[in-house]
């Protein structure tokens, strides 16, 4: 992610508000580097600062979610792009981008 308070607010709005992950405190030894950590009891997602920043357009995390249709609707309502992928016939999944252009994959849970 890019550096700065605005970028952190945008990350919190998307990862916290849209995806529903809690913002986690970074350890003191790492906090000065910037970035944000998010998670829940089953996932930890760490956003590091890069300068200059280049979005990850191919490499991406994949998150398994309980209500994929509800999350797709939430992302679209927030102005995000939901790109359904049907290449794997037994897997319901879509891709979206975070506020910085990083690709994310969301997969329907069992």
Domains (range + CATH), the chain: 5-108 (3.10.180.10)
Pick from 53, 57, 45, 43: nearest CA to 7: 53
Q: Parallel, antiparallel, or unpaired: how do β-strands 62-65 and 93-97 relate?
A: unpaired
Per-residue DSSP letter, 27: P
> For residue 110, is pLDDT > 90?
no
pTM of the model: 0.93
Beta-strand relationship, 62-65 and 103-108: parallel
The three-state secondary structure class of 53 is coil
Average pLDDT, the chain: 96
Each residue's pLDDT tens digit, 22-69 = 999 999 999 999 999 999 999 999 999 999 999 999 999 999 999 999
Closest CA to 108 of 94, 87, 97: 94
Residue 61 pLDDT: 96
**N residues, the chain:** 110
81 Cβ contact partners less than 8 Å away, ≥ 6 residues apart: 75, 96, 97
Percent of the chain with pLDDT over 90: 99
3, HSE (Cβ side, Cα atoms, 13 Å): 7
């Amino acid at each position: 992610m890019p550096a700065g308070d605005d970028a952190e607010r945008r990350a919190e709005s998307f990862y916290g508000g849209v995806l529903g992950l809690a913002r986690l405190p970074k350890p003191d030894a790492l906090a000065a580097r910037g970035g944000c950590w998010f998670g829940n009891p089953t996932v930890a997602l760490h956003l590091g600062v890069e300068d200059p920043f280049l979005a990850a357009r191919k490499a991406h995390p994949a998150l398994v979610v309980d209500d994929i249709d509800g999350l797709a609707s939430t992302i679209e309502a927030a102005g995000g792009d939901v790109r359904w992928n049907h290449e794997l016939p037994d897997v319901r999944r879509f891709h979206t981008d975070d506020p910085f252009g990083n690709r994310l994959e969301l997969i329907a849970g069992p």
